[in-house]
Structure formats: structure tokens, C-alpha cells
Chains A and B, each alone.
Chain A
């Protein structure tokens, strides 16, 4: 068993554990922290897959920026452990069953996908994940989406301003 295999299993387990903990944690702050753990695990996977750029971006953008934003909002709202007052167990069970069956059925279907059974993901070789390659493709083939994303950001910015700016008190 090579190091990569060990790492793969370790990271997978970590990711799954983190994901479960996000779900289970009562305190939102812990959820955020567990989510960061998941992101780290996923970044680890990226590294394993030789996608160094994405690994870094993932850490910086997700774990660094987005999650901090989440944390910030949670802190701002002062949401502590018991923020979910009434428990609707029925809904939870139903949700879990539905999600679970969704998972089972997807796995069942995808396992049957014959054309995937022989293929493997290249672990170490290849350097498409490097910035150099990505940058070239991005600015050649993917220029338009790149430009258009600016519209997206602009709209998000405008939106954040429209929504976030303090208005009058609600009248209802």
C-alpha cells in the first residue's frame, strides 16, 4: 500500500467525518469549523491529484474567505448552540431517509456504469493543474466566461449593496 493510497483513504475518511460532523454539530460555529476540515481534506485530495492551483485556491477562497465570512455572520448574529428551538423529528427522519435513499440509489446506478469500471484517475503524472497551463487555457478558450463572470460579480456586488444597506424597519 503506497503512501498515496494511504493518504487517499485518510483524506476520504477525514472528509466524510467532517461532513458528518457538520451535520451533527449543534453549534453552528462547530459546523463551520468542521466544514473547514472538510475543505482541507478536499484540498488534500486536489494535491494528490496534482491540481495544486485548485488546492491553493480552495484553501484561500473557501476555507480562508468564505468560511470566515460564515463564521463572521454567525458571530454577528450571536447564534449559539440552541438556535433550533422546536425539533421536528418527523421531518428530520424523513429528510434523512430521503437523502439516504437518494444516496443509495445514486451509488447503485453509478456502480453499474460499465464504462467507468476500468478507468482510473491519474494520481501523480501530468501537470495540467499548474497555473501555467490553466492560465493559458483560461485566457484563450475561456476568455468569454471569464469576462462574463465579471457581470456576475458586478451583480453580486450590486445585490449585496441593495440588500445589505440598512433600510427602514419592517412594517409587518
Chain B
């Protein structure tokens, strides 16, 4: 929310302070969700906080909290600027607060930029590593390019409506003009870029691969799902007037994304890169929310965001500590670290969408939302087939961990870390059985 930006300025300190700050934020957020706002600032048509955004925000903050708790130590290992890294993470969080609740396109633009610029920096933060440098530059160039496209879109939208307000712009033009359509399309494209939808996903694997693993974890999860919140908010009010061509376009993008993400992930040797591709595939699934844009879609997106963030952060928390990030690196992990291996298995199962994990209901809601729109059953079938493909590469990790022999060099971890991981796994399982525990926040 608003205050995150102000708060974090003073909290660019060490991990524990970060945790404290995040707890405070989370508390404020949840409180606000229940209607206890501490401050009330007149946002003058810039931001609007409602359930969906707040809940989304809470999830992001909670995930960040987990991220900091699980991987905080690893952040410190990246370089000499620990405090700065945390600050950047908080800046991003501030941006997320904005994009989950903007009503003005200007806020969208600024929010996206606040997310992007620190991301470029975090990507390049491992200055000794050429891969990191390269990833950073790639990310930056392509990101700036997509920003240009976004601005073009906003400009065109403004051209037709004379306002930057999302809602009013929609109200004024019942039948859509070419200019507006082009504007929306360009916006769609640039946001697709941000959440890495095919065919605008090309930056993702390289950047995620090149960035320091711990930041990949952050970017691939929290930053990405925030993009979807922005997506939803943008198209929520405009969708109805956009016509069947757009629906078809989104369908094509979904299929492409699923295909690119899943198929390319199959061949990867490095777990990190595999996760990068899988994050593309997951984005394809999340795009269903945009495709159908109904209650189920929103519920599903929330659940998806939670399930995906928790599981991916968990996996990355282990991956960060691994010396060998390839699949072979995991050989024999089940023997040396049975508990962690078990927990990782739950995470992977969740990503694959196996029942009894949150991932299942997430996917379920997504598919349900599509079915609810009518007869787009072909799309559902394609989606489930690709989900089967996704099981293929997620289970490769499980196979390596449990069924293959090998020596894993894995540093000793604190029992606190282990308990936390177990707790995360427990949350995933509980959400997998009772998704309502989370979704009830949407309605009360």
C-alpha cells in the first residue's frame, strides 16, 4: 500500500529489520482488508484499494516475508550491498502495492517502472559474474523497449478518451475505436512482456538464469504474479467491449505460452533454467484468469499466486544452497536430506498441480473459470495436456532426488530453516485441502 514506500525508506537495513517491517506491513494490510485502516490518504483517483488488490498485496507481502526468512542469508552472500538489496526488494514491493491497486494509467506506468528498475539492478547485482551482467543488460534493453510500447499504448488510449482513468475511459466509449483497440493491444503486449507470455517471453529464461539465484526466486514469483494483478485490473472493465478477436488472441497467447514454456522446459539440464521455463508455463495458466475474467478467475488467480509463490520460493530456497544446479546435482538428495527432499516434493507436486496441494486447486479454478465462460473446451484440453507435460520435468527433480544415487554437496542448514520449509509445505497442503481458508478473504 501507500505506506510501504514511506516505510521502507527507513528500513533499508538488515534481514531482521526487514522481517519486522514486512510483518508490520502484513499486519497493516490484513487489517485494512478487514476494514481497519490506520491512515486514510486521499489518493485522488490514483489508487483504489479493494479486496482483490489487497488480498493480492497480502499474498505478495507474505511471500516476501517467507522469501526473506528462507533466503535472507543467501541475499547477504550475493555481494557487499546487503542493505541495498533489501532496499531494492522493498522498492519492488512498493511498486507491487501500486500495480495491485492502481486506477490511473499513470500509476500503472510508475508502478511498473518501480518494479522494473530495481529488478534490472538485482539481476546485475552479481557484478563478478558475466552472466549476471549480460542478463541485466538484456533485461534492461528489452524492458525499456517494452516500456516504450506501453507508453505508446497509454498515449493512444488517452487519445480516444482524454483521461488516464481506467474506469472512466471504459465508460466513455461503448463501442471501441481503432485507436483504443490499438492502445489496448499495445498495453497487452507490454504487460505480456512483463509477465513473460509467449511470444514475449524470450527474456525470461536468460534473465532468470543469469540473475543471482536468490533474486531469481524473488522475480520469478512475486514480481511476476504482481504483473497479473495489473493485468486483471486493466482489462477488468474493458474486456466486454473488446470483441471476440481479442478473446481469440488471448487464447492463442495462452496456447503459445503453455507450449513454449512446457516444451522448452523438458529439455533443460539446469534446474534453475527449467524453473524459468516452468514459470513461463505457469504464466500461461495464470493468463486463463484474463481470458475468462469472472469470479472464478479472480479467486483462482489469488490461489494460483499463493500456491505458485510459496512453492517456487521454497524450491529456490533449496536451489540457492545447492552447489550443482543441474538435475544431476539433486541425485541422492532424498537420502542425505530426507526431510527437505520430502518438502521439495510437495512443492513440486504443487507446481505440477497434483491434488492435495494448493497447486491443484489453483489450476482447477483457472480451468473452471474458462469452462464457466462457455464452451472453450478445446482450450481446456490443451491446457491439461500441457499440464501433463509439466509433470514430466517437475518429476525429473523428484526422480533425481529419490531414485538416483549420487553425492549431494549441500551445506548444513539450520533447523529453523527446516521447520520453516515444513511449515510452508504444510500451508500448501492445507490450502490444497481447504482452499477456502484463503479465498474467504475475498468475501465477507
Contact = CB atoms under 8 A, between A and B. Distances in A.
Direct contact between the two chains A and B in their complex (CB within 8 A): yes
Contacts of B114: 148, 151-152, 155
B121 A159 contact: yes
A156 B124 CA distance: 13
A167 B47 CA distance: 40
Interface in A111-157: 112-116, 140-145, 147-149, 151-152, 154-156
A38 to B, nearest CB: 15
Given A110-B179, A116-B159, A152-B114, A170 B130 contact: yes
A152 B147 CA distance: 15
Interface in B353-373: none
A66 interface: no
A131 to B, nearest CB: 19
A162 B81 contact: yes
B47 A144 contact: yes
Contacts of B118: 155, 158-159
Interface string B98-129: 10000010110011011001101100110111
Contacts of A156: 117
Given A144-B47, A167-B128, A171-B128, A162 B182 contact: no
Contacts of B131: 172
B336 interface: no
Interface stretch (B22-30, B87-95, B198-206, B312-320): B87-95
A106 interface: yes
B179 A116 contact: yes
B44 A141 contact: yes
Given A109-B182, A144-B47, A170 B128 contact: yes
A112 B160 CA distance: 14
B129 A113 contact: no
B177 interface: yes
B45 A141 contact: yes
A140 B127 CA distance: 42
A162 B75 CA distance: 14
Contacts of A172: 128-131
Interface residues of B, number: 47
Given A158-B87, A163-B127, A168-B128, A113 B178 contact: yes
Interface in B265-319: none
Interface in A29-53: none
A145 B46 contact: yes
Nearest to B179: A113
Given A151-B5, A152-B113, A115 B44 contact: no
A161 B179 CA distance: 41
B2 interface: yes
Interface string A6-18: 0000000000000
Nearest to A159: B121
B44 A140 contact: yes
Contacts of A149: 110
Contacts of A161: 81, 84
Given A113-B178, A172-B130, A159 B120 contact: yes
B177 A114 contact: yes
B9 A154 contact: yes
Interface centre among B84, B85, B107, by most chain A C-beta atoms within 10 angstroms, is B84
Nearest to B97: A148
B37 to A, nearest CB: 16
Contacts of B107: 144-145, 148
B392 to A, nearest CB: 32
A115 B177 contact: yes
Contacts of B124: 163
A115 B2 CA distance: 38
A158 B110 CA distance: 17
Enumerate the 9 nearest inter-chain pairs by beta-carbon distance, A residue then B residue, closest first.
A159-B121, A113-B178, A155-B91, A167-B127, A113-B179, A172-B130, A144-B46, A151-B5, A155-B118
27 contacts: A109-B182, A113-B179, A116-B159, A140-B44, A142-B46, A144-B41, A144-B43, A144-B44, A144-B47, A144-B107, A145-B106, A145-B107, A148-B111, A151-B5, A151-B95, A152-B113, A155-B121, A156-B117, A158-B12, A158-B91, A162-B79, A163-B124, A163-B127, A167-B79, A167-B128, A170-B127, A170-B129
